[in-house]
Amino acid sequence: MAIERTLAIIKPDAFGRGLSGDIVARINKAGFQIVAIKSLHLTRKEAEGFYAVHRERGFFGELTEFMSSGKVVVLALQAEGAILKWRDTMGATDPAKAAPGTIRRDLGTSIGNNCTHGSDAPDTAAFELGYFFAGYELL
């Protein structure tokens, strides 16, 4: 399996509940290398740009409002098969349907407040990493 990079976001619900440290500990325990990390507060416009692929979907406004409602932590993760590995570590979008021991199952409270985001494919990961990190930050 190839070494990949993926984007992870600790969402405002998790940050606001003080769960960032727990999530970073789970990232480390799962064997990811954290290549870059930063905390920021997205503006609505920045959230809309990041989620532009969903602009025509009914949840777009709610999603971008939520993602700009508080601080987030963005991380560039690296591991063998990082994209699928991070998605497995997070669990299903709906915490009630996520596997036991996953972040979303253990810490999420709803589909909207599920604590984390992760890239779903190599092209998505490339866009998402580039959205938050300059090339020199990923060396």
Which residue matches tokens 């494919």?
Answer: 121
Catalytic residue ranges: 117
